[in-house]
Amino acid sequence: MNKVVKIGIVEDHVLFREGLRYVLSANHGFEIIMEAGNGREFLEKLELQQPDVVLMDIDMPVMNGIEATALALQKYPGLKIITLSMHSDYGHYKKMIDSGACGFVLKNSGVNQLTEAIFEVVKGNSYFSQELLMNIILKKETPPASAELVRQLEISDREMDVLHHICQGLSNKQIAEKLFISIKTVEGHKSKLMLKTETSNNVSLVLFSIKNQLIEI
């Protein structure tokens, strides 16, 4: 299986496209058989000839890469489409995956990565730039420093105890029994918590705690 990989480039920036053609041509395993400046143009040219692998930009005029990918795969399910974008956020990643792309390489990656991505998808695997994946994971991590917030709001240890129990869905009575204090005391702590978090009832207090990662759910 050492035949030449036929590649299509869909990218609106002419200079970038030319650079891409140049660096990929250096590899004798690749042959660029098609170029398009937007999704619509790509779909038209796709009727004439089908590449093995398509390098697809996302942001393009007339028709973007997300639509183009979905439509192209509808007609030619065997196509391997690698997203080539500068966006490394989850939204773009998700949309391209949903459209059927089997790879995602960032524009600021080296040629090596792109080359590897092409080889991987030809083999039937998927390839996603490490940088992209790590970026997504990092962004998904808890943004606010919860311990920090607890200090800022001046929530005491005992109040945190009560808060944890509230966020388990326990009633004041149940919490009182668990902590060996009266219901009234639980209510007292809860009132303080609602004051400090500027919430008005049980639910909004729990929502605040979840949103600000004061508790785990």
Partner DNA sequence: ATCGGAATAAGGGAAAACCCTTGCATTAAA
Partner DNA sequence: TTTAATGCAAGGGTTTTCCCTTATTCCGAT
* Site residues, a second copy (CB under 8 A): 90, 127-128, 130, 133-134, 136-137, 140, 166-167, 169, 171, 199-204, 206-207, 210-211, 217
Question: How far apart (Å, rounded) are the C-alpha atoms in residues 13 and 35?
Answer: 11
Q: Are 10 and 38 in contact (CB under 8 A)?
A: yes
The minimum distance between CB 199 and DNA, in angstroms, equals 9
Complex with DNA: residue 122 or 215, whichever CB lies closer: 215
The torsion of the CA quartet 120, 7, 91, 123, rounded to 10 degrees, works out to -20
Q: Are 51 and 81 in contact (CB under 8 A)?
A: no
The minimum distance between CB 205 and a second copy, in angstroms, equals 8
Question: How far apart (Å, rounded) are the C-alpha atoms in residues 186 and 206?
Answer: 15
Chosen from DNA, a second copy, none, partner binding at 173 (C-beta under 5 to 8 Å by type): DNA
Question: How far apart (Å, rounded) are the C-alpha atoms in residues 154 and 147?
Answer: 10
189 binds DNA (CB under 7 A): yes
200 binds DNA (CB under 7 A): yes
Q: Which residues of 89-105 are buried (b: 16+ CB within 10 A; e: fewer)?
A: eeebbebbeebbbbbbb
Complex with a second copy: residue 48 or 200, whichever CB lies closer: 200
Per-residue binder mask for DNA (CB under 7 A), 153-182, x = binder: -x-xxxx-----------xxx-----x-xx
Site residues for DNA per CB under 7 A: 154, 156-159, 171-173, 179, 181-185, 187-192, 194, 200-202
